[in-house]
A and B are shown apart, each in its own frame.
Chain A
Amino acid sequence: MAAINRDDVAHLARLAHIEMSDQELDRMAGELAVIVDSVKSVSQAAGDDVPATSHPIPLTNVFREDVVGHTFTADQALSGAPDSDENRFKVPAILDEA
């Protein structure tokens, strides 16, 4: 497995929507390299015949009756929003402006 470098961290930070300063990127790259190195052994632990476990206690076919339960009013749903307009969440431009 390749080591994690500063450019990787910059790319990951963009994917994760977290702005990072140059200083932060440098520090994070150093810290993550140590952490990634320490968890490397995990990839050698299990053979191909070992199935993956995604949930500790398997539950299948969790169904419920198709009935309307509790719903929030628009006011309740918007009560924590930083900005709203006409019962909608309001955000800045979604597309880059020219």
Chain B
Amino acid sequence: MTDSHELIRLSAAQLAEKLAAGEVTSVEATQAYLDRIAEVDGGERGVNAFLHVNAEEALAVAAEVDAIRAAGGSEAESLHVLAGVPIAVKDLIVTVGQPTTAGSKILEGWHSPYDATVVERLRAAKMPILGKTNLDEFAMGSSTEHSAYGPTRNPWDLDRIPGGSGGGSAAAVAAFEAPLALGTDTGGSIRQPGAVTGTVGVKPTYGSVSRYGAIAMASSLDQIGPVTRTVLDSALLHQVIGGHDPRDSTSLPDLLADLVAAAKTGNVEGMRIGIIKELHGEGYQAGVENRFHDSLELLKEAGAEIVEVSCPNFQYALGAYYLIMPSEASSNLAKFDGVRYGLRVLPEDGPMTIERVMGATRAAGFGDEVKRRIILGTYALSAGYYDAYYGSAQKVRTLVQRDFDAAFTVADVLISPTAPTTAFKLGEKLDDPLAMYLNDVATIPANLAGVPGLSLPGGLADEDGLPVGIQLLAPAREDARLYRVGAVLESLLEAKWGGPLLAQAPELAGSPALETQEAN
């Protein structure tokens, strides 16, 4: 058996190989991750990536995979390549047998009567589900500080934010508490946490992964996607969860391309890679900008052609997003009213009518950011303002799409920093909603246009030693290009660093390596 310190640091692809070769069992791997969660996730200075740990079910699934492998024969041969590889699931995605909170008090203790389609697909692939990960309440935030269950901490520096909304999934993967996780991305909630935690995150083409069972924030922007430590692992997981689903009316009928093959292409020669003029430079931290230019150099050396493109309408993208997203959210969250599920709070005095019960329930159940967005969305949709706000924002969406269309006539893939800064301190932007919203300035255009985006680690910023993310964007339905370019850039960067970026992350207290050191 492999030492558990090494075991949890294997990529999902490496672990899958060892499982298939019989060098390690799924129960050993799953237990190693559960032990790691027990060591680093809880307590005052814990990572707090998990809201629920699903040990019993995960071990049962692992044991089932091990038994099938041990028995051999056709059932063993037909096991999915990721069978027995554990995974964590963002707590916005519903699961039978585990609570789903969406990071909100209004759903505390609620159990879904059905599984999300992506969860059904994980189960079909026999991947043990380790638990549910923390997030900003209803995925509204860029720091995971808006969770009703306390913030998640960044494994690179426990006093800093892990990004958001999917800070739990990204931190779990970065802290070696899981090899893989699922996230959701409405304006950057997979990619920006990936950037600030030194992990890989992918927002697939809108409609290419089913949203059935993802608690909706903004239905025309939301997309489920992979959160991993390597580009290849994202491709493997993307292939598990992607593909048509009749239960999601926005699901694309297209067949999924071979994303794993794309990740294994191994060259970018002759590919045109476009720098988006508006998505770097002013407003971006110097260390972010430096690492961005390093990546451009490496791609150029590898034979890619670097071109510059301009997307002038991206300047309106953030504003349009903060009209469209709250509008859709205010409508989607109307269902949390204390009638069919979740919390019900009775008014302290006065007549006990359903209207007043709803008002008291939503007042007590929702946090400040959720209330802010519901009120903003209600405003943007109200009579007299609809055309000026929601209507105009939808037109900007068309302009952003046109900018992308024009850019993709001269470039095969676009590139930018994923986020303007590295991870900031917990509490630093909590009282300034607008400053918080600016974190998503580079990720939002992809959601407005429905195009796919991938963030991968680009190194550490000179001034603070914290991870910087590089974002790749491709035309809709061309997710494969992200994996092709992403995997090449990752291998060039890792050659330069002498290993994965996460190998440079500080050891967390209570980690096996540290204990050994202390024992010596």
- Give 13 new A-B contacts, CB below 8 A, not counting A36-B379, A42-B396: A12-B379, A17-B334, A17-B355, A19-B363, A31-B372, A34-B433, A39-B320, A46-B396, A51-B398, A56-B450, A57-B207, A80-B340, A82-B342
Other-chain contact of B399, A9, A43, A46 (Cβ < 8 Å): A46
Other-chain contact of B249, A31, A34, A62 (Cβ < 8 Å): A62
A96 to B447, CA, bound (A): 43
A97 at the interface (CB under 8 A from B): yes
A81 to B393, CA, bound (A): 37
A92 to B345, CA, bound (A): 11
Known contacts: A46-B396, A64-B246, A93-B353. The answer to whether A17 contacts B358 by CB under 8 A is yes
A47 to chain B, nearest CB (A): 8
A4 to B395, CA, bound (A): 23
Query: Per-residue CB proximity of A53-75 to B under 8 Å, as 1/0?
Result: 11111010010100000001000
**Which chain A residues border B447 with CB–CB below 8 Å?**
56
CB nearest neighbor in A for B364: A19
Which residues of A are at the interface with B, using a C-beta cutoff of 8 A? 1, 4, 8-9, 12-20, 24, 28, 31-32, 34-36, 38-43, 45-46, 50-57, 59, 62, 64, 72, 76-77, 79-83, 89, 91-97
A40 to B320, CA, bound (A): 9
**Which chain B residues border A31 with CB–CB below 8 Å?**
372, 433
Other-chain contact of A80, B113, B371, B385, B448 (Cβ < 8 Å): B113
A34 to B398, CA, bound (A): 26
B450 touches A19 (CB 8 A): no
B375 touches A94 (CB 8 A): no
CB nearest neighbor in A for B355: A17
**Which chain A residues border B342 with CB–CB below 8 Å?**
80, 82
A97 touches B351 (CB 8 A): yes
B394 touches A17 (CB 8 A): no
B427 at the interface (CB under 8 A from A): no
A35 touches B394 (CB 8 A): no
B342 to chain A, nearest CB (A): 7
Known contacts: A45-B395, A50-B398. The answer to whether A57 contacts B313 by CB under 8 A is no
**Which chain A residues border B113 with CB–CB below 8 Å?**
72, 76-77, 79-80
Other-chain contact of B378, A15, A19, A35 (Cβ < 8 Å): A15
B398 touches A39 (CB 8 A): no
A92 touches B354 (CB 8 A): yes
**Which chain B residues border A76 with CB–CB below 8 Å?**
113
Interfacial residues of chain B within 379-429, with CB under 8 A of chain A in the complex: 379, 382, 385, 388-389, 391-399, 401
A46 to B342, CA, bound (A): 42
B465 at the interface (CB under 8 A from A): no
Query: Per-residue CB proximity of B17-39 to A under 8 Å, as 1/0?
Result: 00000000000000000000000
Name, among A4, A16, A79, A97, the residue most crowded by chain B CB atoms within 10 Å (CB to CB): A16
A81 to B447, CA, bound (A): 34
**Which chain B residues border A89 with CB–CB below 8 Å?**
339-340
B374 touches A18 (CB 8 A): yes
**Which chain A residues border B450 with CB–CB below 8 Å?**
55-57
